Structure 1
């Protein structure tokens, strides 16, 4: 009989460890029960994936086991439902055990971790009961939310853990194994999904099951903690009390010199967390505004086909020069909040319809943004920990901007070229920007007075200015989009290097590693050794391709982010008007130089910079080297150059911890986006039964429409409605500052379900050529055709697997009309290339010639072996479709509306049939699968219609 107490009768009592045991056993039964039932009843079906089945794949994944079939799905759902009770009890008991400990008595951390635990429990129910077959998107959202919440839950439990050495040992082991397993898990998933390696999914499945076992095992360690708990059921309510020390106390007693322990020792503060978020978002606003300037300027030389005069607004960034005037500097510092708020004019410009006035508003926003951030750095220079916070916000703002572009397929959703119809989030972004600025600009260390930075002021201000210019240019040109450097090293199919998705997350990880290195090892970041590593990385990126070239890019990324606090804090020791004003001026010189390497035919003195990206990269690293020289000579003391510098006070340590939390959140966000964006590669042509290929060519004018809006969505709609299986895109390389560092092909490929070859990368100095295909790209080769005088002519030679037959597709953009010798040499080169192909072939091209005149007779005829899709079409100058070895059944010309300045030309072909004749036939005699859509007849849709002939043409 249970004993009685004066405050009520004890009905039953048991050790708290049985809550943990019940949770562990039932959770394992849910997963292992489903595995046993699935193997017993549907073994071959659950090991089958989209590429292989048994015997290549012989072990099922977790998702295939628990979500695809009855009754194993029901076994899992029943036991996981039973698990929910012990799970909620476990989270509650963890909170009761940790909330009253000495260190966290007045902290919000136990409540926060409890909230995370409840959130994980609910999202677990989400991906359990909404399976991938029910709703793939929501299943993924719940699953990713669960995985993202695992990190704060794990770290929080480690921080709050009582000083039980054995429990701490197991928690660390299980947590380390869990996160370590993610690396091979992702690797083998990519091997399966991208490279289609037989058996890779089976290995992936083992790591996936390991994650499940380790996740449950981590929570099972609470058995050791709850042994001291007794669950008593009485007829009145009681409250458990505890006074044990936490893991943080234990770590601090044993490892007092470790900064991680110092971070754990801090109680959670919502005000400091909000300050961190606000600071980072303010940095995001700056980078969003700065990166929008180039693309709004670029609109004008596009339509003027030369220098327009608006290019002078690139100098909007040199506003820090005015901070050299002492009264003006004091005025700006006293009114930093207002100055930052005025920066939002650049983003509000999306409300302005006129491209000219929108550009003026953007340039004004950039002008005030550069002024505001320079003044902010200068105002904090007397307090190193406050200056560190501002620089970290600035760096994390760049990371946030790059992740936002990653999430929106390389368009920043708050840019002024975005608005509601094309996917912009302008209103929300600006609203949050106002809140962030109001929060992050409440105070500075200086109220306008010129307070000196601690330590020596030695060092050259001019050298510091060069350092700022090189750093800002490298950050902007290489790291403002995660796909930029990946496309530098892209060489075509088969894939031999990184892909923009998912490997863009590697760039984010490298950026995060650089930020941490700059915070915790400034002496190393300032060293010539680290500069040498960065310089070697830059050289490898510039000179090599595929994975090796990308490894250089990652090394350079780590160095650039680590150098941010070193170079900025060095530059702010001098007059900001000199260092930052001159720095932004030299930055603009580098911006123009890296445009001139490809735009040499349109600018004065352009031939001197022709194809010299290597010169630009060398100049960038030399500028950064000058900044490092100044930083070393202006270091506070020789000791600081050798020692690892720690924050000087507890508030500084706490502040640093919150920025690390923000970094972790951003990294997890980037990884989650990569998972959601991972391509399915399950693409099918529109009319597979007829073995038809609908191919098109379009010059997309750098994805800016006539009204300066980003045009990807409108392009997607018309390409989908035309039912294109293969499309060549020209003027498609947007990976430069002046074009916004974008990649339209990512959006189109994902939305249309197509493979993509970007073509010659941004370091190949062309205006771009890209190929999208519903058919697998077996092989692709990139060519730069002879161009002794004019602009480089890019070409892609791709071999597609079309209905089991190999078909070659050429995408080509010839040189300008002003350079006839270039065009003659290019014609001969491409004609030999096409003639050498023994396979059926299609040319999707921009030839700059009149039908049946001049170079046309080399492109079409014996020299190339190619036929014109419609020899009777005399009204062409630029775009042409040629073919051989296929039956050509139809041809159409479709108006562009206001998307670009060039029409869409489309051809229909049938694989495996002879070429046919040039005789025209009526549409009624054409099988339905081989007809063009009726949607574009007459007035068409949204300004797109069949024009010139006013209807498609069909051939016998």
Structure 2
């Protein structure tokens, strides 16, 4: 034993052995389980829900470590041993990188500890024990890997070998995620044989790279010696980190670069301020996006202009800032204005739809006024203006992520409540607290004047801001909007709302960073030209090509928020913000007119002309760029060190918030990824229950979101296939929603969102328990009236291919449209030789007029109810080549204005024979004579349940 002046050294160990021990036991845990599993249970662990050996011949990590004894126990034993070195590794990394007052080392160490605990979660709670919690821990672990990896890279000491290996392994880790997700989708969605084996190789590669990344610490820790002595004392690491060198270089060059974000001291007080600012931005976008959907309720039920549409103009309240005394009042009372804007969140407390709409309109008016006053008030404080603009942009991102997590409904909207998935009370409480926090005087505010600006046009600045606001709202307020623009049916040839909605959100994040650090680059003509080409590609193409254009456009729109708002505050707020919101409202109306042309004055001028609206949006943005490029900026005084530090901190808070939001979006994508293991309700009888329902845009009679009530009705009726009409909600006026996401995920069904929102229809959708093998979307002839959408899909039902057509005919007033549409559809149905079911809205009476075109020798289709049902006018179910065994009409309750019609069919049995009496002969039999599995649910008999009951003939019908 060596005798030191500060005590007796009992034992000593080089720090590198902590890394070696961690690496050896971590690899031993995984690969010992792999060897034992391949040896003892090879065929069982390579088997998945679709394929087994020889199609699949290598197991996934989860199947290897979590399903069977003894490999599971061996893995858990080695991982338990690994935990000690793991905690020590995190501690030594903190010791190595810690510097007095530095925040980043503490943050990274905290991430490391949390990540270690999360690892224990998915290790000891396997997918066999609890699939959901296993996935939650696993996904959280992967999410926390990102800040851990980036933090270690940023804080890495100047060890060239270690830095090189860290960069290589980090690049390999994150690069592997792309093919990993691709092959997982190939397996889950497309059911490609062998795809899961390739996925498994990439999954095991992640283990290699993840553990290898932490193994690099051996290069850094070899300078440490761990000693056990008889006195207290532990040396802190004082080595110069890469982050320090970068910061010093940046200071010398007087540049603002992203690496600066990891240096300096930060306070939780200011971080809470930044979070409050972002939540206030979330309030603005939540209130603004809720206005359209609450206005839409009224023309929807009036079937035309109702007068309440005038409340769209409540957003032009910034015009009041053109009045001097009012402007001074608004600037001095920002807290009051922001608190009044919360009325839009509190509107859910009002039950009457009319008064609820007025509450939302009030909230929108004060929200637009408050934010305009806030921007203008901070025009002389560059870093505070930066912070408010960042909060405005991040508020939009937060709103989109909230919708992403809640199946495209914002949980604080006034159409939400405790019953249908709303978080209104929580959102309201947080809103009040956030406003009180965000509007208090900040101790970090400084009054430095910006550089003097000359030139530029207030009108051009207002036009640019209008185009920007419209682009953000119409395309980016929901992560699935642009995806549905490029969706063209099955087989899948492009992005899916889940998981690729997180790609849209990531593109918004990239744009945010560009706008935050390089606003001059974002506002160049070259960048505008790239964005314009991308918008054209997005509009003109389907599938991945169109989506790539969409991603570039998304990044561009978020990147120009800072320069456009900064340009706007250089002019009078009444001129810029008031005019901007007025032009924005005109674009919103045009955005509706392209599809609602049959119900509005002058509608035919914009009939199906989304291209005009998109072009106008880009031209307005171009005007904003012209205004910025025409502004000359005279050099101002050199910013003080205090100002530079304050601006860097505010940017750091913004990037930290962005990082957390992006990690949240990735987590949501993993948690929401569909299982694609759906099963029909009565597979033993090979029964197929199909329904048709016109759902009135998922707003019920009392202006509440109705997806959950629809879910209950569809589930209770045991519908295996259902056609939904009036289902396209992807417009500002409808809230940019997608009802099929919740219904499909909750009910376990495949979904086809008919012709997309850029096809100018009211929408048709198909949900199916059976895989959709192929689908095509059709726009039927409509020379005068509204477009008629149709989906022609082929499903795999019990191994037999069956065609399903979902169709919505045109208006009653447009006789020629409906005649041409009936001819088109009859030919479409007649072109297939497979069994077929039509789920439709035909706008005709039984056995009259166009009915004889739909039910004809051309179509070869039969009516499920060939009787003279005097009450049937719109909805029809037709069939051929499949055995019809039941039919029912179910009342709508208060969900919509149209009933549900349901038909039951048996797959694989011949079509019902046509007996004496021709097509009108029913072959009806009593319920007692059909098998129990074929019968309709008892709960809808008599008074029914939740307002739904068998009506018209008060009972289901059954057929031979």
| TM-score class, shorter | over 0.9
Give runs of aligned pairs for residues 504-519 of structure 1, distance below 5 A.
504-519=501-516
Give runs of aligned pairs for residues 458-537 of structure 1, distance below 5 A.
458-537=455-534
Question: Whole-Å Cα distance in 2 between the matches of residues 296 and 452 of structure 1?
Answer: 42
When structure 1 is superposed on structure 2, of 572-581 and 64-73 the one drifting more is 64-73
Question: Whole-Å Cα distance in 2 between the matches of residues 276 and 190 of structure 1?
Answer: 37
The equivalent residue for 1:786 is: 781
The answer (yes or no) to whether the contact 2:104–2:263 under 8 Å persists in 1 is: no
Alpha-carbon shift at residue 135 of structure 1 (Å)? 0.9
Question: Whole-Å Cα distance in 1 between the matches of residues 103 and 451 of structure 2?
Answer: 35
Alpha-carbon shift at residue 348 of structure 1 (Å)? 0.4
Pick one of 426, 432, 438 that aligns with 2:424: 426
Question: Whole-Å Cα distance in 2 between the matches of residues 151 and 912 of structure 1?
Answer: 52
Pick one of 613, 620, 627 that aligns with 1:623: 620
Alpha-carbon shift at residue 639 of structure 1 (Å)? 13
Alpha-carbon shift at residue 540 of structure 1 (Å)? 1.4
Question: Whole-Å Cα distance in 2 between the matches of residues 951 and 616 of structure 1?
Answer: 50
Question: Whole-Å Cα distance in 2 between the matches of residues 268 and 456 of structure 1?
Answer: 32
The equivalent residue for 2:699 is: 704
The equivalent residue for 2:277 is: 279
Alignment gaps of 5+ in structure 1: 641-645
Q: Deviations over 1:293-322 (max 9, x none)?
A: 000000001111111100000001000000
The equivalent residue for 1:23 is: 22
The equivalent residue for 2:946 is: 942
The answer (yes or no) to whether the contact 2:143–2:666 under 8 Å persists in 1 is: no
When structure 1 is superposed on structure 2, of 311-320 and 569-578 the one drifting more is 569-578
When structure 1 is superposed on structure 2, of 692-701 and 270-279 the one drifting more is 270-279
Matched residue SS, 2:790? strand
Question: Whole-Å Cα distance in 1 between the matches of residues 248 and 392 of structure 2?
Answer: 35
Matched residue SS, 1:597? helix
When structure 1 is superposed on structure 2, of 106-115 and 134-143 the one drifting more is 106-115
Question: Whole-Å Cα distance in 1 between the matches of residues 465 and 247 of structure 2?
Answer: 39
The equivalent residue for 1:955 is: 959
Q: Deviations over 1:154-198 (max 9, x none)?
A: 233333333333323322332232222222222222222223333
Question: Whole-Å Cα distance in 2 between the matches of residues 98 and 541 of structure 1?
Answer: 46
Q: Deviations over 1:265-285 (max 9, x none)?
A: 223432332222222211111
Alpha-carbon shift at residue 235 of structure 1 (Å)? 4.7
The equivalent residue for 1:330 is: 328
Alpha-carbon shift at residue 8 of structure 1 (Å)? 5.3
Q: Deviations over 1:25-53 (max 9, x none)?
A: 11111011111111111222222222232
The equivalent residue for 2:376 is: 378
Question: Whole-Å Cα distance in 2 between the matches of residues 253 and 415 of structure 1?
Answer: 47
The equivalent residue for 1:930 is: 934
Question: Whole-Å Cα distance in 2 between the matches of residues 597 and 57 of structure 1?
Answer: 50
The answer (yes or no) to whether the contact 2:382–2:449 under 8 Å persists in 1 is: no
The answer (yes or no) to whether the contact 1:13–1:230 under 8 Å persists in 2 is: yes
The equivalent residue for 1:609 is: 606
Q: Does 1:130 align with 2:125?
A: yes
Question: Whole-Å Cα distance in 2 between the matches of residues 276 and 896 of structure 1?
Answer: 47
Q: Deviations over 1:892-913 (max 9, x none)?
A: 1111111001110000001122
The equivalent residue for 1:64 is: 63
The answer (yes or no) to whether the contact 2:511–2:559 under 8 Å persists in 1 is: yes
Question: Whole-Å Cα distance in 2 between the matches of residues 637 and 869 of structure 1?
Answer: 77
Matched residue SS, 2:455? coil
The equivalent residue for 1:586 is: 583
Give runs of aligned pairs for residues 53-132 of structure 1, distance below 5 A.
53-99=52-98, 104-132=99-127
The answer (yes or no) to whether the contact 1:350–1:417 under 8 Å persists in 2 is: yes
Matched residue SS, 2:702? coil
Alpha-carbon shift at residue 234 of structure 1 (Å)? 3.9
The answer (yes or no) to whether the contact 2:451–2:636 under 8 Å persists in 1 is: no
Structure 1 length-normalised TM: 0.96
Question: Whole-Å Cα distance in 2 between the matches of residues 600 and 532 of structure 1?
Answer: 31
Pick one of 793, 817, 821 that aligns with 2:816: 821
Alignment gaps of 5+ in structure 2: 914-921
Matched residue SS, 1:419? coil
Alpha-carbon shift at residue 254 of structure 1 (Å)? 6.2
Question: Whole-Å Cα distance in 2 between the matches of residues 521 and 636 of structure 1?
Answer: 16
The equivalent residue for 1:666 is: 661
Question: Whole-Å Cα distance in 2 between the matches of residues 413 and 876 of structure 1?
Answer: 37
Question: Whole-Å Cα distance in 2 between the matches of residues 340 and 446 of structure 1?
Answer: 21
Q: Does 1:757 align with 2:757?
A: no
The equivalent residue for 2:918 is: none
The equivalent residue for 2:895 is: 899
When structure 1 is superposed on structure 2, of 733-742 and 130-139 the one drifting more is 130-139
The equivalent residue for 2:916 is: none
The equivalent residue for 2:919 is: none
Alpha-carbon shift at residue 330 of structure 1 (Å)? 0.9
Alpha-carbon shift at residue 597 of structure 1 (Å)? 0.7
Give runs of aligned pairs for residues 385-464 of structure 1, distance below 5 A.
385-443=383-441, 454-464=451-461
Question: Whole-Å Cα distance in 2 between the matches of residues 738 and 754 of structure 1?
Answer: 27
Matched residue SS, 1:410? coil
Matched residue SS, 1:318? helix
Question: Whole-Å Cα distance in 2 between the matches of residues 447 and 393 of structure 1?
Answer: 16
Pick one of 352, 375, 378 that aligns with 2:350: 352
Alpha-carbon shift at residue 866 of structure 1 (Å)? 1.0
Matched residue SS, 2:802? strand
Runs of 4 or more consecutive aligned structure 1 residues displaced over 6 Å after TM superposition: 444-449
Alpha-carbon shift at residue 778 of structure 1 (Å)? 1.2
Q: Deviations over 1:500-542 (max 9, x none)?
A: 1111111112111111121222222111111111111111122
Question: Whole-Å Cα distance in 2 between the matches of residues 952 and 839 of structure 1?
Answer: 27
Question: Whole-Å Cα distance in 2 between the matches of residues 575 and 624 of structure 1?
Answer: 19
The equivalent residue for 1:643 is: none
The equivalent residue for 2:857 is: 862
Question: Whole-Å Cα distance in 2 between the matches of residues 464 and 119 of structure 1?
Answer: 47
The equivalent residue for 1:52 is: 51
Question: Whole-Å Cα distance in 2 between the matches of residues 394 and 383 of structure 1?
Answer: 16
Structure 2 length-normalised TM: 0.95
Matched residue SS, 2:347? helix
Q: Does 1:877 align with 2:873?
A: yes
Pick one of 915, 922, 925 that aligns with 1:921: 925
Pick one of 203, 209, 218 that aligns with 1:223: 218
Cα 1:261–1:909, aligned 2, differ >3 Å: closer, same or farther?
A: closer
Question: Whole-Å Cα distance in 1 between the matches of residues 667 and 552 of structure 2?
Answer: 23
Q: Deviations over 1:859-893 (max 9, x none)?
A: 12323211111112332011111111111000011
Question: Whole-Å Cα distance in 2 between the matches of residues 539 and 751 of structure 1?
Answer: 36
Question: Whole-Å Cα distance in 1 between the matches of residues 100 and 755 of structure 2?
Answer: 60
Cα 1:446–1:317, aligned 2, differ >3 Å: closer, same or farther?
A: farther
Cα 1:58–1:635, aligned 2, differ >3 Å: closer, same or farther?
A: farther
The answer (yes or no) to whether the contact 1:693–1:726 under 8 Å persists in 2 is: yes
When structure 1 is superposed on structure 2, of 39-48 and 462-471 the one drifting more is 39-48
Matched residue SS, 2:596? coil
Alpha-carbon shift at residue 9 of structure 1 (Å)? 4.4
